[in-house]
Amino acid sequence: MSLRQHGRYDYSPITERAVYDWPNGTRLAVYIALNLEHFAFGEGLGAQLAPGAGEPDVLNYAWRDYGNRVGVWRLLRLFDELHFPVALLVNAAIYEYCPQVVAAFRQRGDEIVAHGRTNSERQAALGREEEAALIAHVTEVITRHEGKRPAGWRGPWISQSMHTPDLLKAAGYTYLLDWCHDDQPTWFRTDTTPILSVPYPQEINDIPAIVARKIEAAAFADMIIDNFDEMLEQSAAQPLVCGIALHPYIVGQPFRLLQLRRALSHIAAHADKIWLTRPGAIADAVISL
């Protein structure tokens, strides 16, 4: 008996694919995904610094809020110093809570990626009509504030229902960031026309590494450097995407920011050999092939 399949893409070994260059003639595209998240107070989901003691969970709520109040501004300064472009993955609730943060990244010309309404919820828990309404609400909020529709989506908690790619395509999205199954963009089938999946990291991601696995700041920086170096070598044979997923309440802590600066400075020193970009530009490049 065959196992149940998702039906979104077929198996394709990376050794048997067409070779192409990125727009600047390099083979390794590098992007930073900075997750800007807001949480309901006294209810819902959220990463935990320490085991929660019931609601209101002041310890963990305040820890996460440090990212929006302090950590993100320290990271912004670092990105400016190193001339790094950023994809800002935005909970729609951020526009009501701390719009100054989004405005600062908008001023840099950074990409705004839809990241649900709040990370206090998972969209996969919704019915199809409710999920479609959530996507429509988030799209409207971002479009109203940014003056243009977001091209990319990443669900809170990387949560997808069986219908999410279909709903995103119907809502006008070009690409999604929820899947971590490849080092190259992949076309996903939907019930209409395909949508592109741009690789999003789960290993080079501060929540799984630092919160879940308790990896220390210097070791996480080493992971970023080692992953980048190895992918740069591998990219001589074919185009690859190297994503780095960050959260201000985690890497915006001073002792982790120090180590992150070391890792990103290493990447910046190789800027002439890579394409420092954003996921929307990666999607556009693949779509244009």
pLDDT band at 49 (very low <50, low <70, confident <90, very high): confident
Give the tens place of pLDDT for each residue, 247-263: 999 999 999 999 999 99
Specify the CATH class of 20-39+53-287 in words.
alpha beta
pLDDT at 50: 84
Domain ranges of the chain: 20-39+53-287
153-184 burial: b if 16+ Cβ within 10 Å, else e: bbbbbbbbbebbbbbbbbbebbbbbbbbebbb
The mean pLDDT value for 152-165 works out to 96
pLDDT at 51: 84
pLDDT band at 21 (very low <50, low <70, confident <90, very high): very high
Please give the DSSP secondary-structure letter assigned to residue 211: I
pLDDT at 47: 86
Give the tens place of pLDDT for each residue, 201-246: 999 999 999 999 999 999 999 999 999 999 999 999 999 999 999 9
pLDDT band at 137 (very low <50, low <70, confident <90, very high): very high
Residues 6+ apart with CB under 8 A from 284: 174
Please give the DSSP secondary-structure letter assigned to residue 289: -
Give the tens place of pLDDT for each residue, 78-106: 999 999 999 999 999 999 999 999 999 99
